[in-house]
Every structure is written in structure tokens, then in C-alpha cells.
Structure 1
Amino acid sequence: MDLTDRRTLLKLTGGAGLVGLAGCLSTTDDGGDGDDGSDGSDGSDGSDGSDGDDGSDGSDGDDDSTEAYEIGMVDSQTGSLSSFGERNQRGVNLALQHVNEIGINDRELDISVEDSESENQGGIAAAQKLVNQDGVPFLIGAVGSGVSLAIYESVVEGTDVVQLSQNSTGLELTDFPGLLRMSPSGLSQANALADLIAEDGYDEVALTYVNNDYGQSLADAFVDAWEGEIAYENSHDGDQSSYSGVISEMDSSDAEAWLFITYQAEFATMVNEVFSSGYEAQFYGADSVSGDDVLENTPEGSMDGMKIVVPSAPVEEENYQTFASAFEDEYDRQPTSWAAYAYDCVINAALAIQAADEFTGEALQDTVRRVSGPDGEEVTSFEAASEILADGGGPDDVDYQGVSGPIDFDENGDPIGFLQVQEVQDHDYEGIDFIEG
């Protein structure tokens, strides 16, 4: 793969492919928790009237009810992935605004959100409330792969509830086809990082990764893809006050290329310790080390030249640019790819609801993949897709093209995706390439 010559966005296929708002989103302080790093909203406005645990409120999509359709979301408002939650909340709120400007069968969409606190058990508790007590038929969540899997195995599996993760990239999700995700698998990231480091001229690497499902699976995939020498490989626990031992061992390995697969807070601590110790290396990173929290908590010049591979939206496409413009108008900042994934989760859910015969998990299981499948008419907005459905079209008549890219879920529940290479320049992230996995 020649990264140097690629300067156009390449579409990737399959599971191994790379990479007015008040009142729209209800919030509360008594939610559950989970470590999935979702869009960051954490509230619940109560039950939708269901008396069962199959995620159904018993209402028909074509009835005369004016009550809002209510779905659920498990998000990281607190904990190690809360920065992802904050980013994603903006995408969710913007999507709700766009959906409710049009409506679904003359009704609005509400999202009841519970905080996961970025922990597996918290995610399970949050999902139990949403599914078993509130009776939601559609659950968005989570960001952290371990949390998404914990929710699916403990709460969702065996029910008709649709679970669609906004940001989980863990490789193991591919083994659970009933668990859908909007962001691409991390396998493509691992392959791209191996190619990138080799093409930069390095033949050995020191690797550290966070000790959880996300870190372990991505590290294993990188080691499988890497054809050079692994001079150092070790995990580290999250939420530690110091990683001086890890940094010292990486330096002692004599590898000139260091790869970090961890989260923003942990990586910022590592960067500060590298900088204060005077160590020098070429840094590389997976997507989870990139973010404002790192920039704000590390010295200028401490990361310059670092390269990071991140999932990316198709930024050259018109529908993404329209989304980005609306996002900047609303929030005075550019969206991240994570916000785009969260946005598309909401739009996909809204279209699945409109296309279904009734508002039940069983009905939504039938429509959630089809409204963005390749058989229908390509549309790039909720409004255009909704018009097709309102005019008598069915789920196979619509092919919603998301702002994060095409959403053609494969048999494993994985989407098409894109990857971008970022480089730290003048203590900021600059996109330097889009690549194919």
C-alpha cells in the first residue's frame, strides 16, 4: 500500500474495511453506567408504556398516537471515555433536531439515555433499566467494545431488541452478528498501522496497550499484521497516576518507533513522562489516543510528528459537508467522525421505525438493516428517505447513505468505513492521508 501517493478518499468494503435542541434529549442524574464512550447524554424521561421486556411499547407505526417514539442509549458521560460521550452527544442532538423537524408518522423521536460511567457493569445496569424497565425496542450503545459486548450478552441477546453501537471498534464484535455497529472494525486500523510504520522505514516497534478487550484485540491484530520485530510488548492498566515503568521499558527496548493503543487520559500521562524524561521516539497511535484532552494536557512540542490512524467520515462527500456545516453552525466547532457515527445511529433508528409495521423489537429487527441496504434508492438525508417511506415505499426502497459513509451492514453487523492518517503538527492534528485497509 502506497500511502504517499494516496490523496483521495477510498471507499472500503466489508467488515475489514477501514475506517433548538433542548427537549430533544432527556437527561437525568440517576442513570446506569458503562465504559463504551458513547455520545455523552445520560438521561431518561421514563417508560414508553411497555409492560414487557421485549423492547416494545405495543404501539403501531401507523396508529393515531401522538406520543413520541422512545428509544434508549447507553453512553459514557463520566469515566475514562467521557470525552467520546461529549463529542457524540452533539451528533445525537443534531440528528434528533433533523428527525423531529420532519417527524415520524406525525410523531417525534425521544432518546432516553443512561450513563455507563465507562464501566462494563455500569453499562449492563444502564441497559437493564432501558430494556427491562423502560421497554425500549431499540438501544444505541456503546462506545467501548467491552461494554457493548457486556450489554449484548447480559441484556440484549435472546430478546428482539435492536442494539446498534455508535463507536465500538473491537474486533470481537464481528463474532456477534446480532450486535450491529456504525463504526468499522479495528482490524483495518491494525493493518494500516503496520503498513504505515513499515513504510516510514522502521523494522522494530515497542508496543503498549490498555488492558481490556479493546486494547488486547487491537494489539493482537497489529502483532499479526506486523512483519518486523516486536522489541517490547506489554499491557498497562487504565486510570493510573503514572506510567513511568512502561515508558522506561519502552525506551530500554531501543526501538525507535513506539505504538500506543490506549485512551486519552492514559496517553497524556505517558506523553508528559516521556517529555520530562527526555526520551525520544517516533510515536504512533490508534484512534483512542487522539483528542482535545491530550492536546490540552501535554506540553507543546511533546508529540510533534506523531502519526495516528483514526476512523473517518467521507469528508469530501456533499452530505458530510452539509452535516459538518450544520454542526459548526450549532456548536461552533468541527465534528469528529465519532459525532458522525452517533448522528447516523439516530437517523438509522428513525428510518427503521418509520419503515416498520409496528414499534416493536421484532419489527425493527426486520427493517434496521434494510433501510440503509444497497437495494433501494440512494438518499443522503432523513428528509429524503422519509419521503420515500411516506409515499408508500418499503424498507428495501431506501438506501440511506450516512454522513459517516455507506451503512451497508454485512452478515456480521459491520459497516463500510474509512480511515484517515493524522499527524501532530504544531500541537494539533492535521489529516495527511486517507487509506484503504
Structure 2
Amino acid sequence: MQSNGTGGRVDRRTLLKLSGMGLVGGLAGCLEDSESTPTSGDSGSGGESGGGDSTDAETATESEGDSGGQGSYTIGMVDALTGSLAPYGKRNQRGKDLALEAINEVGIGSESGQLSISVEDSESSNQSGVTAAQKLVEQDGVPLFIGAVGSGVSIAMYDSVTEGSGVVQISQNSTSPELTTRPGLMRTSPSGSAKGQALAQFIADEGHDTVAVTWINNDYGTGLSEVFAESFEGDVVFNEPHDQGQSSYSGTLTSMASTNASAWLFLTYANEMTVMANEAFDQGYNTNVDYYGAESTVAEEILANTPEGSLDGMKGITESAPADQDNYKNFVSNFEEAYDSTPTVWAAYAYDAVTISALAIEAADDFTGDALNEVVRDVTRPEGEEVFSFEEAAAILRDGGSPSDVNYQGVSGPVDIDENGDPPGLYQVYSVQDHSYEYGDYVTS
């Protein structure tokens, strides 16, 4: 449910009325960037955060025992602080820090324990992500960690470290449909499946019956491209991957142009999209076809490093936050006051991942992975009383309520983590006009 006014709810039917597109829903990647645009969130490159190992809030000693009776709790986070996904990872640190501030102002348990988060850098690669997760789990002994940005990184960490360990893993940004096949791997950003279907319907509704698709060669690109190809009612006349971090993609663009497709769909990241946009503009391709993208082609870095007019008219579908929901408005206000910039929905996903983790600690009998696993989904489920902050949820638990009595409504929207570890999704149509992102209709999954 969404809320507006004084906590009033906007139901699914009302949301669909807001949407000129009606239903459908979303698939996705792992990202988006640059804290600058409203409602949808966003695009956000953030700016704070360092690299390597760090511990947020006051350094706390991890220990086990009664979650209501100890004074400090340390969990982990694997984020992309360096490497190609750093523009996406750094935005999460701001959302994480705001969540910690709100949680520690209330405190956890009867002794008002303080939460801290030990942050490790995935370096935007699977192997470094696994190494970071191993440090947190095997050396630091955290019972829960948040991570990662890239879907491939999250999957690699789960398969190599988390599965079978009893440790809770909650991804803040990974959206590949492949995560759904690992129910123990939870996330606060929605699965990409619905977005791939939404993109297919959207491009068809725009009057295209041929499309050329190029996708980044990883779990994100593979999953999203497969759903799109299965869902598009026209002909996918080109459907090929491209490698990450190349200095030129002229061969891919030439092949796409040779198909005479009326639409080009880019399922890629900011750096790669920047290279492609510049090369396509130099060849004049942008005047002959319509460009489309998903959330990871929404990035201020792309616009800052491409000529004006090179992307005008590009459209796509991106994850969105519920702009009319009161707790999202409060999140935006606090974010803008702290950082003098508008947050992204991805920062909101990070905020919610931290808050859910804290609620699980509040609700669990012990500060162990097994105990946290028993309650972490329950505090988000729709059967409980809707609450819009850690403070409200903690009050129910401290008044004798059970985890299932709590239904945390995230700043990113309803979380409602299901049996596959997935939340529902809210999406928004975007376009590039006058070399700037603009946002339109909502799409729900």
C-alpha cells in the first residue's frame, strides 16, 4: 500500500489510475545513478563514502546473546565503492547513514542498543564481493549483511558464502530475475522480471515491431534481455551482448544499424552507455532510430559526458519510489537537508534494507543468523499493522507484539518480502528531453 496525507493509503487501483499505462510491472538490473531527479527516483552518483573497510556509526563489538539485552550490534554491508559500479554504490551510503541515524536515535531493545555497519568494498566484481563477504561472515562473524549492487556479485556471494551458513543476506539493489531462484537471498529492490515485460509492452505500444537489443554480458543483462525477448510481440532482430568496460562499441552499433530496426534497446551501465551514445551520435544513428533503456541508463554521468541532443527522445522504464507516501516525503526532506541533493529510489532501497535488518534484530530472540532468519520476512508482511518507521515498528514489538504483527512500509514503498525473497515493484516511465531526464506515468507489478 502507498500512503499520502496523514498516513492515508493509496491502493493498487488508485495507483493504476495514476498510471497512463495501467498494469504491467518490472524487470531490471541492479542500478541507477546520480542523486538529482525527483519522485522516481532518481539517478544518483552520490559522493560520499570511501573505499575499503570502514565501520559506520560508533564502532561496536559484535556479540551474540539476547537481542533485547545487549548494548551494541554490528552487521555488515558489501557495497560497490570502487570499480565500474561505484557511481551506483556510493549513493547507497547516504541512504544507509540516514537509516542508522533514525534507528540509533530510538535504539534497539530494552537497553537502547546502537547499530553499526561494517562496510566492505566489492570493487564491482564477483570475486572481490565474495572476498568481502567472507571477511564479514568468517572473520568478523556478522549474522547478517546487506549487499550488493550488481546482481552477479550478490549471487556469487550467496552461492559461495551465505547459502547454508545461517547468515542473512539482503541485497539493496540487485534486480536480476535469477535472484528469485535463490529464496534465501532477499532484496529490497524489485525483481527485474516484470520490468522486462513492461519494457516489451511499452516499446510495442510506441508503434515498433522491430527492435535491436544489446545487453551487458553479466547476470543483469542476461536476465533482462531474456525476459524482454520472450515478451516482445514484434521481432527482436538483433539480441547480442557486449562486454563491460570497453573503449569502443562501434562493431555492436554497426551491426545494430544493419538490421534497420526502428528501435534500439540498451540494457547496459552508465559508462558503457556513454561510450555507445557518443559513437552513435558521431555516426548519426540517433536520427534514424528511437532509443530505449532501463534504469541503469538513467545517470547524470551519461548526460554530463555526451553532447546535447545525442540522447533526446530516449525513453525507458525505471524503478520508482512512491512520491505521495508520507514516509518517502520525510526521507526526501531529511536527505535534502543532509546532502543538499534529491535522493534516488536506490538510496531508499538501501535505507529500507538497513531498517529491516534493525527490525529483525529487535524482533529476534538472539543476535544470531538463525534467529534473524526466522523473523526478517515477518516484519515486512502485509498481515501485520502498517508502520512507516523503525520507531513505530519497535513500539509494537516492545508492547508484546510478534514479528507478524508488524508490516513495515518502506520509504521505497511496500516491502512485503515474499517466499522467493522478492518485494513488489513500482516503476515509472522516463524520457530524455533537452538533455535532461523527465518522468511520467507509473507502472506497478
Match of 1:335 in 2: 343
Matched, 1:77 2:88: no
CA distance in 1, matches of 2:350, 2:303: 23
Match of 2:147 in 1: 141
Between stretches 149-158 and 297-306, larger displacement belongs to: 297-306
Question: TM-score, with normalisation over the residues of structure 2?
Answer: 0.87
Superposed CA offset, 1:38-78 (max 9, x none) = x966533499666xxxxxx3222122x32x21000000001
CA contact (8 A) 2:80 2:122 kept: yes
Superposed CA offset, 1:106-148 (max 9, x none) = 1111000100010000000000000000000011001111111
Superposed CA offset, 1:250-288 (max 9, x none) = 111111210000100000000000111111221000111
Match of 1:128 in 2: 134
CA contact (8 A) 1:267 1:289 kept: yes
Q: Secondary structure at the match of 1:154?
A: helix
Match of 1:24 in 2: none
CA contact (8 A) 1:356 1:363 kept: yes
CA contact (8 A) 1:41 1:75 kept: no
Q: C-alpha displacement at 1:6, in angstroms?
A: 5.4
CA distance in 2, matches of 1:18, 1:394: 33
Which among 165, 168, 173 is matched to residue 174 of structure 2?
Answer: 168
Superposed CA offset, 1:178-214 (max 9, x none) = 0001111111111011111111111000110001111
Q: C-alpha displacement at 1:80, in angstroms?
A: 1.2
Superposed CA offset, 1:212-233 (max 9, x none) = 1110111011000011011212
CA distance in 1, matches of 2:163, 2:310: 45
1:360-379 matched pairs, under 5 angstroms? 360-379=368-387
1:2-401 matched pairs, under 5 angstroms? 7-8=18-19, 42=51, 43-45=53-55, 57-63=63-69, 65-66=70-71, 68-105=72-109, 106-279=112-285, 280=287, 281-401=289-409
Match of 2:431 in 1: 423
CA distance in 1, matches of 2:334, 2:327: 11
CA distance in 1, matches of 2:385, 2:256: 52
CA distance in 2, matches of 1:10, 1:258: 21
CA contact (8 A) 2:133 2:161 kept: yes
CA contact (8 A) 1:18 1:418 kept: no
Question: TM-score, with normalisation over the residues of structure 1?
Answer: 0.89
Q: Which amino acid aligns with 1:132?
A: E
Superposed CA offset, 1:373-399 (max 9, x none) = 122211111111111122222211211
Q: Secondary structure at the match of 1:147?
A: helix
CA contact (8 A) 2:26 2:198 kept: no
Q: Secondary structure at the match of 2:348?
A: helix
CA distance in 1, matches of 2:414, 2:378: 12
Q: Which amino acid aligns with 1:434?
A: Y
Match of 2:441 in 1: 433
CA distance in 2, matches of 1:395, 1:12: 31
228 and 367 in structure 1: CA distance in 2 versus 1, 3 angstrom threshold: same
Q: C-alpha displacement at 1:248, in angstroms?
A: 1.3
Q: Which amino acid aligns with 2:105?
A: E
Q: Secondary structure at the match of 1:59?
A: coil
Q: Secondary structure at the match of 1:359?
A: coil
286 and 401 in structure 1: CA distance in 2 versus 1, 3 angstrom threshold: same
CA distance in 2, matches of 1:255, 1:179: 38
9 and 48 in structure 1: CA distance in 2 versus 1, 3 angstrom threshold: farther
CA distance in 1, matches of 2:257, 2:27: 31
Q: C-alpha displacement at 1:306, in angstroms?
A: 0.6
CA distance in 1, matches of 2:243, 2:214: 10
CA distance in 2, matches of 1:134, 1:9: 49
230 and 125 in structure 1: CA distance in 2 versus 1, 3 angstrom threshold: same
Gapped regions of structure 1 (runs ≥ 5) = 20-36, 51-56
CA contact (8 A) 2:356 2:379 kept: yes
Q: Secondary structure at the match of 1:73?
A: strand
CA contact (8 A) 1:11 1:417 kept: no
9 and 84 in structure 1: CA distance in 2 versus 1, 3 angstrom threshold: farther
376 and 212 in structure 1: CA distance in 2 versus 1, 3 angstrom threshold: same
What is the total number of aligned residue pairs between the two structures?
405
CA distance in 2, matches of 1:250, 1:80: 25
CA distance in 1, matches of 2:119, 2:127: 16
9 and 277 in structure 1: CA distance in 2 versus 1, 3 angstrom threshold: closer
